Amino acid sequence: MSDSGEFGGHDHVIAEAPHRELQQKPKGAIAYHVPRILLWLAILVFCLLAQAALLEGILRVAGYGESTRFLARCEVDGKAYHTPNRAFYQQFSALPLDRIMTWDDLDFQVPEVKAPGARRIFVFGGSAIYGTRTSARILEMMLRERAPSVQWEVYNAACPGMNSHVMVQAARACAALEPDVFLVYMGNNEAVGPFGPATALGRSRLFWRTPIIRALIAANELRTVQLLRRAGAATSLNLPDTDALMRMLPGMTDHPKTLMFYERNVRDVCASAARANATALLCTLSGNRRFMGVVAPPESADESGQSINGIVRRQAARHDNALLADVAGKLAAHSEDGLPGYDFFVDNVHFNFAGNYLAASAMFEALAPLLQLDGAPPEKEACAAALAWTPAAEFDLLGWQLQAFLDDHSRDRVRRRYDALREVVDENWRAQLFDDHITALQRHPDDLYLRQTAFRLAFDLGDADAATEQSRELRARHPAARAALRSAGVAAALRGEAEAAVAGYRACLDVYPDDPEALRRLAELLFTRGDKDAAEPLYKRYLRIDGTDAFVWCRIGEIQAHRGQARRAAATWLRVIEQAPTHPYAYRLLD
């Protein structure tokens, strides 16, 4: 029995062994195949990355695409400068950049070697602080007036439509340029600007995150990404009423996740300033509390920080290198019932000169102890004179504002003011404005923006002698400014010196190959001289910057017709008519 039991047990073990082996074999097979699968996946990923890297390298060697970093480096007369990069801003706008701003009003040149004793201030924000007569410019004049022995360098990186996702990148780049102060007045475009909640990314709950936003911005630097974007985007000739990213009025948002992104970006701007041993001047935002005739309640004190201004105040308190400029409080203190209105604003968020002056005063008062400035801010009239802000200047600016995107109520107010000023200034207002700038330049002869405006006014007046003189001064005092380099060609063309004009435009394009005005003017000059072959590549380079210019497309059609390509020319002109049906030149060419 025992034998049978033993033999029975032995038979049971022998019988189970093959079954156990069959059970274990699949596990062994999986364990055997997993490393091989991972290896093949790694090889596949490596091959894809290698191909992408090879394509990227080929595109860069071939000169395709452009850098989208904030700063570009150039050398003029043996001296190195850092300048803002047009392509950096363009990547965030659906419209050609020159349709939303005037580049010369933003452009600046930072010497690579900082002069001893110079004080550098970099400004970050949107349209509320962009331009040559906004609070940042008034602040610059205040600093010059109160400390004339100091070499003040104020570089304004603010751009219409941009928000903190854009400005945090600019601040990181500017931290390498030995800044003393980062001045931050931003927050009106958080909901309506790049990567805001109204964009495709903003509607994605899964992917709308700061690391992804910053990774997408970094990816735009890749030439492969630029190739894919260009291949998938059709060039349109018509100009939309508004930018796809700016379909709502700008203003302070209460969107919770947008506020979270904003606070992170403000914090990172302060951190960038700290790494450069600079001070971050954080400004509260003011707005028109009587917008469109509707009185809004006063801004409540935000103890939780769940608002744009609450975040600004909290971050200013948390960072040792941060100061607070209470612009909102300053304007409220000078307004009836503490509610700023059209006395200080053009629309809901954009200041008029009086509002800009008060904002600049708040900034000056916050900076005065840090910069060891004595006395109160200069009077508004002194600042106006320094910036050539006169009735003629206001009349000119209002004319531009009437062409901008304004609500009907604000537009009506601007129109009434424009018509009233028409009674004050005469038909020679442009000549008066030129004289006003010459007067301002007598006090501040090295001011780039006053000088380039004086040149532009002389050109508009058709005064070749005055334009030539201002061009000469521009190039002598600001040799690296694109406006200065370009002015040599513009002034020569005004004098009727074609060869000198060609040389001037080419000198500008040697330093700034992306300058659209120099490209267009040089191409047109060559075209009218009959050198259509030389004009064509310049026109095409220009169209890569602004593909909506119907007149330049008409020129492309004329070049095609000149070469006997009648069908291609007709197709080009028909395309112009389809996209810009009110443009008369294409109809004339088809006839």
The answer to whether the predicted template modeling score (pTM) of the entire model surpasses 0.85 is: yes
3-state SS, 104-156, equals HHCCCCEECCCCCCCEEEEEEECCCCCCCCCHHHHHHHHHHHHCCCCCEEEEE
Residue 182 φ then ψ, to 5°:
-105, 115
- The pLDDT tens digits for 92-105 are 988 899 998 999 99
Amino acid identity of 463? D
DSSP string, 463-485: -HHHHHHHHHHHHHH-TT-HHHH
pLDDT digits (tens, 9 = 90+) for 404-453: 878 899 999 999 999 999 999 989 999 999 999 999 999 999 999 999 99
pLDDT of 198: 77
Structure confidence at residue 231 (pLDDT): 67
Distance, in Å, from the CA atom of 14 to the CA atom of 23, rounded to the nearest integer, reads 15
Sign of the CA dihedral with 179 first, then 180, 185, and 186 last? positive
Confirm or reject CATH 1.25.40 for domain 441-512, answering yes or no. Answer: yes
CA distances from 96 to 115, 159, 244, 343 (A): 36, 13, 12, 33
Query: Can you tell me which residue has the tokens 């103890």?
Result: 303
Find the Cα–Cα–Cα–Cα dihedral 492, 496, 501, 503, rounded to 10°.
-110
CA distance 51 to 25: 39
- Predicted local confidence at residue 6, as pLDDT: 43
The CA-CA-CA angle for residues 461, 467, 468, to 5°, reads 150
Q: What is the mean pLDDT of each run of 10 residues along the chain (591 residues)?
A: 44 46 53 73 85 87 91 96 97 89 96 96 97 96 96 97 96 98 96 85 86 92 86 37 48 88 97 98 96 82 77 96 97 95 95 98 97 93 97 95 87 94 93 98 97 98 98 98 98 98 98 97 97 97 94 96 95 94 90 80
Q: Domain map of the chain by residue range?
A: 85-389, 441-512, 517-591
CB 355 within 8 A of CB 285: no
CA separation for the pair 430, 97 (Å, rounded): 26
Residues 474, 480, 484, 488, CA torsion sign: positive
Q: Listing from the earlier edge strand, what are the strands of the sheet with 322-325?
A: 152-156, 119-125, 181-185, 279-283, 322-325
Q: Which two tokens stand for residue 83?
A: 């300048």
Within the chain, what is the greatest distance between any pair of CA atoms? 131
Equal fold, 441-512 vs 517-591: yes
Query: How much is the pLDDT for 55?
Result: 86
> Considering only CA atoms, which of 157, 153, 149, 159 is closest in space to residue 139?
153
From the list 165, 191, 333, the residue with the least C-alpha distance to 252 is 191
203-244 pLDDT, tens digit each? 888 889 999 999 999 999 998 888 887 765 433 222 233 444
Q: Give the gyration radius of the chain's Cα atoms.
A: 30
- Superfamily of chain region 85-389: SGNH hydrolase (3.40.50.1110)
CATH 1.10.3720.10 fits 517-591, yes or no: no
Q: Which amino acid does the sequence have at 26?
A: P
Q: Identify the pLDDT of residue 305.
A: 67
Say how far apart CA 245 and CA 340 lie, in whole Å.
28
